[in-house]
Structure 1
Amino acid sequence: MKSILLLALLGLLTPQLIYGGIIKTEQHRNPVRSPVHFNSNGTFKIVTFTDLHYGEGAGSDWGPANDIKSTKVMFDILDWEKPDFVVFTGDLMSAEVMYPNGTETMDQLLEPVVKGNYKWASTYGNHDIGNNVSREVILSAEQKYDGSYTQQGEEGLIGNTNYYIPIYPPTGTNGSEEKPALILWFFDSRGGRNSSGGISAYVHETVVDWFKLTAQQMNETWGPVPSLAFFHYPTDEYKPIHDTIADHPECPGQHDDIVTPQERDTGFMEALVASGMIKAAFVGHNHGNGWCCNYKTLALCYNRQSGHGGGWVGWTRGSRVLTLNIDDLWGPALNYIRLENGTIVDQFVSQV
């Protein structure tokens, strides 16, 4: 931590405030959070939840019933996996059909992580906004809980949830808060509609430029730090893999949907690859997809749909689980799908 502050003072990093190891610009007063560390044995497990779609069908039988099922999915998977961190990759709710009860809906949605005393972070999707619910309301509802590491991005970045979280070596090890062992990146691919009209669904150029600059600063300061990227909409690069995945038995997982990529290619994936940091990217959005495959220098993965909302039936819900070891973060990494019935399927070991 001291070294990061010193670098900021020396001008090696842009003028920023440090929040529990998270570098943010001075314009945004995100809550102060304690640094996140690997376990004493050097392991770190992440459970992902995507496309929960809470808040549908208010006043109906099916809407609240789906939310109860989704809550059970999360409680069960958290109980089986007992992760160190939880990531929500968008479409937490279906805000376009909701009246102004986003805060209450978030309280219900977050019950499993709050009661379990877990740390978590989110990036938002195209359904996390509507005429009566904004992403800012959802963010405020999250940040009132101490376990939330979700951040409002820097001033000038288009979108809300563009930020990163450093994960440090085990507490008590030499320099355990000076250089991260892992970085979790979150990007807002936006989309959806509000009272002003439609919102473009892609990671904006301002965010791509911010990532390039920040990654360059990190590489110059620390050297390459292995990193994971989380966002909601897949990029164009997912489509050719999906279209030929039957020919790639090394790419396990569900592929029962189309790929709906970001509406515009801003060089986002090219920037992730060129950074030399990103080991894997994880998305949601297309509910019937849940596969992983190697692409150039990283793995491209769909997370499994976790929620019973969203209007899609016939698929067993679940979570992609990431298991990391601090001694081999640049080596092959294991992830798998934990289904709501307890079964583990689609084990994938990245080879990049």
Structure 2
Amino acid sequence: MKQGYAKAKTLRFREDGTFKIVQFTDPEFYEDSEAEREMEAMMLSILEAERPDLVVYTGDVIASAGHPDPAGAFRRACEIPERAGTPWAAVFGNHDSEGTITREQLHALQLTYPLNYAKPNPPGVHGAGNYVLSVAGSDGSAAAALYFLDSGSYSPLEYSRMGFYDWIRRDQIEWYAQQSYRLTDDNGGVPLPALAFFHIPLPEYNDVWDFEVCYGERYEVICAPWINSGVFAAMIEMGDVMGTFAGHDHGNDYWGEWRGIRLCYGRTTRNAYLDRPFMPGARVISLREGERSFDTWIRLADGSAVAEQPRHEPTGRLPSQVLRK
């Protein structure tokens, strides 16, 4: 697949004008067990079936707490797209840096792989794994943008007052806006069609489920941060992001449109930890050059593709709950 594609480190739309992404989320690599070998085989089969132009890990790539060799677990995750010959990039979740390895070390490690397309951390910006990739169009200029943001891990403030999970910080939002301004200016003042990837869902994921029609399942409490830092508002103001993609909540795979932006969950790549069947898999995203829209579907472990997810009618605000994973 795509031999020699990664040498120039340039993502491109295909000749037919499409660009496909496979989102793996929450695989939580830990040990070379039978269960993980089955997960690896599933991931490779999904890549073979979809033949994407990019793989994105949206956090909790490893379960690092108590792990004697978290770097080794992360390398096993890195080898999946490398073996498939597919460009890839990752952002990190709360479980990635609970052990003896830091997010900065994980980010530096992913940059050593030939097919990894992540970029070094911008100086002075909170977190590890904030970067933007452009996708070149038929004329060689940027035709789409992909933003990657570190949504952190746990609240740095008292949990009882400020919730359990972290949020995208002000300097990250400023960095995103600067990148968006630059890309818009380079595109003649027209915002590029863009997607954003991070681990912890935004507070607006609650809003879209409660007040708009959604498609997919919500089997788990939405574990968004209690603080709304304004990243969604910034995306509205910049006018480029068409869709966001999160993980974190293993039992959720829905999407819905909120204020013109489609808020999407991935499909957990590992066990959903539910008391009901919920087959693991991946979310697939397809862009088309020159269009401000995208298609998305789910590819499951049994090889089936789910293009039409169940419709959920809005029910209004439900009592809030906090679930610690």
Q: TM-score range by the shorter chain?
A: 0.7 to 0.9
* Separation in structure 2 between the aligned mates of residue 191 and residue 199 of structure 1, nearest angstrom: 9
* Separation in structure 1 between the aligned mates of residue 8 and residue 261 of structure 2, nearest angstrom: 29
* Separation in structure 1 between the aligned mates of residue 224 and residue 107 of structure 2, nearest angstrom: 25
Q: 1:272 aligns with which of 235, 242, 256?
A: 235
Q: TM-score, normalised by structure 1?
A: 0.78
Residue 67 in structure 1 maps to residue 32 in structure 2: no
* Separation in structure 2 between the aligned mates of residue 142 and residue 70 of structure 1, nearest angstrom: 20
Secondary structure of the structure 1 residue equivalent to 2:55:
strand
Q: 1:240 aligns with which of 207, 226, 237?
A: 207
Which one-letter code corresponds to 2:183 in the other structure? M
Task: Give the corresponding residue for 1:8.
Answer: none
CA contact (8 A) 1:253 1:346 kept: no
CA contact (8 A) 1:130 1:193 kept: no
State how many pairs are aligned: 296
After TM superposition, list the pairs within 5 Å mapping 1:143-222 onto structure 2.
143-170=111-138, 174=139, 176=140, 179-192=141-154, 201-222=166-187
Which one-letter code corresponds to 1:190 in the other structure? G
Deviation at residue 301 of structure 1 after TM alignment: 0.5
Residue 49 in structure 1 maps to residue 24 in structure 2: yes
Task: Give the corresponding residue for 1:335.
Answer: 296
Deviation at residue 137 of structure 1 after TM alignment: 2.5
* Separation in structure 2 between the aligned mates of residue 127 and residue 312 of structure 1, nearest angstrom: 19
* Separation in structure 2 between the aligned mates of residue 192 and residue 96 of structure 1, nearest angstrom: 14
1:280–1:288 Cα change, 3 Å: same
CA contact (8 A) 2:177 2:238 kept: yes
Secondary structure of the structure 2 residue equivalent to 1:255:
coil
Deviations 1:179-229 (Å, cap 9, x if unpaired)? 3101000000011599xxx99611111101111222123223322111000
CA contact (8 A) 2:108 2:120 kept: no
Secondary structure of the structure 1 residue equivalent to 2:142:
coil
Work out the percentage of aligned pairs sharing the same amino acid. 26
After TM superposition, list the pairs within 5 Å mapping 1:279-290 onto structure 2.
279-290=242-253
* Separation in structure 1 between the aligned mates of residue 177 and residue 58 of structure 2, nearest angstrom: 22
Which one-letter code corresponds to 1:138 in the other structure? L
1:98–1:312 Cα change, 3 Å: farther
Q: 1:228 aligns with which of 195, 204, 227?
A: 195
Which one-letter code corresponds to 1:264 in the other structure? I
Q: TM-score, normalised by structure 2?
A: 0.84
Task: Give the corresponding residue for 2:72.
Answer: 104
* Separation in structure 2 between the aligned mates of residue 208 and residue 43 of structure 1, nearest angstrom: 29
Deviations 1:158-186 (Å, cap 9, x if unpaired)? 1001110011013xxx3x1xx31010000
Deviations 1:45-103 (Å, cap 9, x if unpaired)? 11110010111xx5xxxx8233222212211110111111111111101112312x122
Deviation at residue 112 of structure 1 after TM alignment: 2.2
* Separation in structure 2 between the aligned mates of residue 33 and residue 67 of structure 1, nearest angstrom: 32
* Separation in structure 1 between the aligned mates of residue 220 and residue 21 of structure 2, nearest angstrom: 25
Q: Over the residues paired in the alignment, what is the CA RMSD in angstroms?
A: 2.5
Secondary structure of the structure 2 residue equivalent to 1:254:
coil
Which one-letter code corresponds to 2:194 in the other structure? S
CA contact (8 A) 1:102 1:137 kept: no
1:345–1:32 Cα change, 3 Å: closer
CA contact (8 A) 2:70 2:99 kept: no
Which one-letter code corresponds to 1:121 in the other structure? A
1:193–1:133 Cα change, 3 Å: farther
